[in-house]
Amino acid sequence: MKDKNNTLKLFIGLILSAVMISSCENPAKETSLQEAPEKKSGRAPLSISETEIYTTAHGTDLKLSQTGTVSFDKFIQPLETEASILVNTDRLHQDFVGIGAALTDAAAETFYKLNKDQQDLFMEAYYSIDKGIGYSLSRTIIHSCDFSSGSYTYIEEGDAELKTFNIDHDRKYRLPFTKKAIEAAGGDLLMFASPWSPPAFMKTNGNMLQGGKLKPEFFQSWANYYVKFIEAYEKEGIPIWGLSIQNEPMAVQTWESCVYTAEEERDFLKNYLGPTLEKSGMGDKKVIVWDHNRDLLFERANVILSDPEANKYVWGTGFHWYEDWKDGMPMFKNVAAVNEAYPDKKLIFTEGCNERYDLERLKNDDPKLAERYGKAMINDFNNGTVAWTDWNILLDETGGPNHVGNLCFAPVHGDTKTGELTFTRSYYYIGHFSKFIRPGAKRISTGTTANKLSATSFLNTDGSIVIVAMNESDNELDYMLSLEGKTAKLSMPAHAIQTIVLK
């Protein structure tokens, strides 16, 4: 690599080979990478087949559009006035699990009101890697949430022994919808489940809505309920990879909700849910704690994960992004704090959406809707997150259905009157990550020199490097990309996101 006359193809090949060796990858891959470069004299830029740039930009027709290639030259030290990205391929971090969204009742009901060709397009758009954005992760709900047409459970009220348990309610929409998604994803789709509330009779307020707490006399019955749900879904051919204990356990909502303090969640896990899963042969299910906003993420993780008896059951800590209601500022620092304190546990973004549906914001192509996704994903990944889950994968033209009027945005909306789909910029922004960063990838250390430019990078198992960069400013941005002593000069439109793929 010291010979400046070596081709850049030789350079990149050797770099990726060195990274793979340090990561203990398959020796066969190391050999092929070492043998692949052509040993030619003379300088040659990377060809179109070796680099790709994809761009989505507000106010343009660019939507995950291929917009060019990358040409590296000698390293350039950026000035303080210049925007630059540095990728350090010697520093590899967490293993990437996947990106996806929640398959709610609302999504399923909307899906079956679409025209057949739009249903097929929807599945292809989300789950095909080649023609869509390649989702590999999903979330499902344990009975109803606000994005259901009404409240319901899987048992008759008062049945603490769960003798009447059945998932017949889900057979009309959610089960067939979920099976179609799994099929569209090639038969392999990681699925985790979350409850919003126990049945009313198990709670202190006698209501599935408006918060309340789980009564102590129903701790075991409620733990058994998770097992019943997993068994029922898996009998339908829907494997459950993991589960969170409670959606938003510190929120008293007008919809299905249940409050746990950190100590209550810890004790329910270590004394009831964890042992019950193990006794039922489900000790391999990935248990996710917290499942609420970033603001209390570090506090919650400390209480639960510092207890050895609870810790042993925990796969990771889940979080949402709604803490910015306080001052408009997402608290990414708390994601980093948990990652630093508990590096043996995983971090997973379990829910996020743009609230308060307003059709005018879509018509006006408001960049804040999509940029919220881009900013969150870049920062969450850079702070150690291994998986990222959007909220409703699909909603109707009103931002529902939702049985308490909590109408929201989704990346894709289906018009139940016309049967047609609308793909928002948020869909494409998410796709800049999910289409190119594949499960098993490792994050690479990445830094930028300007606040208006943010970026994250990953090394895929096939040896390709993926850099996702975003420009939140009102102006076109010229920037530099440097790795391993080489620099490329690039440009990005205003309010845009780019994915650079180095093969």
Same-domain pairing of 115 and 145: yes
Same-domain pairing of 79 and 117: no
Distances (CA, A) of 152 to 116, 124, 254, 492: 29, 31, 15, 48
Nearest to 257 by CA among 349, 141, 356: 141
- Domain membership flag for residue 449: yes
Domain limits for position 43 = 8-95+443-502
pLDDT band for 53, please (50, 70, 90 cuts). very high
Same-domain pairing of 318 and 387: yes
> Which of the listed residues 411, 436, 461 is the one where a domain comes to its end?
436
Same-domain pairing of 367 and 463: no
CATH code at 107?
3.20.20.80
Same-domain pairing of 74 and 192: no
> Which of the listed residues 403, 436, 469 is the one where a domain comes to its end?
436
What pLDDT is stored for residue 13 in this prediction? 47
Active-site positions?
248, 351
Alpha carbons 442 and 464: distance in angstroms, whole number: 11
pTM (whole model) above 0.75: yes
Same-domain pairing of 78 and 104: no
Same-domain pairing of 420 and 302: yes
Same-domain pairing of 68 and 117: no
Q: Per DSSP, what are the bridge partners of residue 332? A: none
What integer is the mean pLDDT of 409-421?
98
The structure tokens 């990377």 sit at 46
What pLDDT is stored for residue 252 in this prediction? 98
Nearest to 317 by CA among 377, 244, 393, 417: 244
* DSSP assignment of 275-290: HHHHHTT-TTSEEEEE
CATH code at 477?
2.60.40.1180
Same-domain pairing of 489 and 366: no
pLDDT band for 12, please (50, 70, 90 cuts). very low
Average pLDDT, the chain: 91
Same-domain pairing of 127 and 163: yes
Dump pLDDT digits (tens) for 364-402.
999 999 999 999 999 999 999 999 999 999 999 999 999
The H helix count followed by the E strand count for the chain is 14, 21
Alpha carbons 359 and 371: distance in angstroms, whole number: 17
| Cβ(193)–Cβ(141) below 8 Å | yes
Same-domain pairing of 76 and 118: no
- Domain membership flag for residue 463: yes
What pLDDT is stored for residue 50 in this prediction? 80
470 pLDDT higher than 60? yes
Residues of the chain with pLDDT > 70, as a percent, come to 90
> Which of the listed residues 417, 436, 455 is the one where a domain comes to its end?
436
* Residue 46 neighbours by CB under 8 Å, 6+ apart: 8, 9, 12, 69, 70, 71, 72, 502
- Domain membership flag for residue 2: no
- Domain membership flag for residue 1: no
- Domain membership flag for residue 182: yes
- Domain membership flag for residue 3: no
| Cβ(285)–Cβ(277) below 8 Å | yes
- Domain membership flag for residue 396: yes
- Domain membership flag for residue 345: yes
Number of domains in the chain: 2
Dump pLDDT digits (tens) for 87-110.
999 999 999 999 999 999 999 999
Same-domain pairing of 114 and 87: no
